[in-house]
Amino acid sequence: MCVCYMMPCFLPNATNEDDVAAFTALAAAKAGDAKAMGAPPVLGLIRALATKYPCKG
């Protein structure tokens, strides 16, 4: 599965705590989604970061 379209563009002042908060917020929002919850955690992390830090261009 390619996640090439989900690349995050980090802000220079982003912290690990910001990233953890984005991941847990996405997990909470998708808690009832069996497909999302069944995906490998690293995909959830990339999705969360790409949502929080979308690349514009």
Pick from 3, 11, 9: which is nearest to 42 by CA?
3
- Number of structural domains, the chain? 1
pLDDT score of 28: 94
pLDDT score of 2: 47
Instruction: Compute the 3-state secondary structure of the chain and give helix, strand, coil in percent, each to the nearest 5.
Output: 60, 5, 35
- Residue 15 resides in a domain: yes
- Residue 41 resides in a domain: yes
- Residue 16 resides in a domain: yes
pLDDT score of 6: 67
- Residue 57 resides in a domain: no
State which residues form the domain around 34. 4-52
pLDDT score of 5: 59
pLDDT in tens, the chain (57 residues): 444 556 778 778 889 999 999 999 999 999 999 998 999 988 888 889 888 888 876
The Cα 23–Cα 42 span in angstroms is 10
Q: For the whole model, what pTM was predicted?
A: 0.74
